Amino acid sequence: ANFFCHSEIRFFDKNESDIAWDWLRERPEVNESSIAIQPYKNILLPTDFSVHSDAAAKRALQISEQYGVNLHVLHVIDDFTYYAEDVDPLVTDIYLHKDTLMAQAYEQMRKFAERNKLGKDIELETQWGNPKRSITSWANEKNSDLIVMGSHGLHGIERLLGSVSNFVLHKAPCDVLIVKS
């Protein structure tokens, strides 16, 4: 982090307070040549196989074709654990079927890619874990430049608890495009 900033220092008389406030409100001029816009190279498309993910897939495909970049599709199987009052965490028998679930998820991903005409030059990956954290970790580890994902448009208590897209938007190490369907 850069703890120093470069700024112009200017002094005003007491009777120039209006001028001073106007000067403070001015937006600094940005030299556009100093802003280096890097093209995207790796796009991450997290999917839960919903219609919202289909909309995101169409947008991710459009961007990847337009700029000739890599498209990676990720599905995370939620490794949820139930907690009850005064009881140890209840681990469901979902863990007993982990390999089967991973194989089924991969098959769903293949169908998702086919349904959305994503082509054969894409990387498909399934993971086991917390979707919110897995998506941001994967993006960081694989140097994703852009995450394109759908939004379910949650309301009420679901929104209060937080959506995956909202978490990713605020915690991702790269740009995030939320596609509304």
Bridge partners of 44, per DSSP, are 72, 147
Domain that holds residue 166: 42-180
Q: What CATH number is associated with residue 46?
A: 3.40.50.620
Tell me, what's the pLDDT at 101? 84
Percentage of the chain exceeding pLDDT 90: 36
The confidence band for 97, taking pLDDT boundaries of 50, 70 and 90, is: confident
In this predicted structure, the answer to whether residue 89 has a pLDDT above a threshold of 80 is no
- Its sign, for the CA torsion 97, 99, 101, 103, is negative
Asked whether residue 24 is assigned to any structural domain, the reply reads: no
The domain tally of the chain equals 1
> Helices H, strands E: what count in the chain?
6, 5
3 lies in some domain: no
Q: Is residue 171 part of a domain?
A: yes
55 is a domain residue: yes
Residue 138 banded pLDDT, cuts 50, 70, 90 = very high
6 inside domain: no
Please tell me the predicted confidence (pLDDT) of residue 100.
85
- Residue indicated by tokens 């140890």: 88
Model pLDDT, residue 26: 78
Mean pLDDT of 99-120: 88
Q: Is 106 left (phi over 0), alpha (psi -120 to 50) or beta?
A: alpha
Sign of the dihedral defined by the CA atoms of residues 19, 23, 25, 27, in that order: positive
Does residue 35 lie in a domain region? Answer: no
Question: 21-35, 124-138, 143-157: lowest mean pLDDT where?
Answer: 21-35
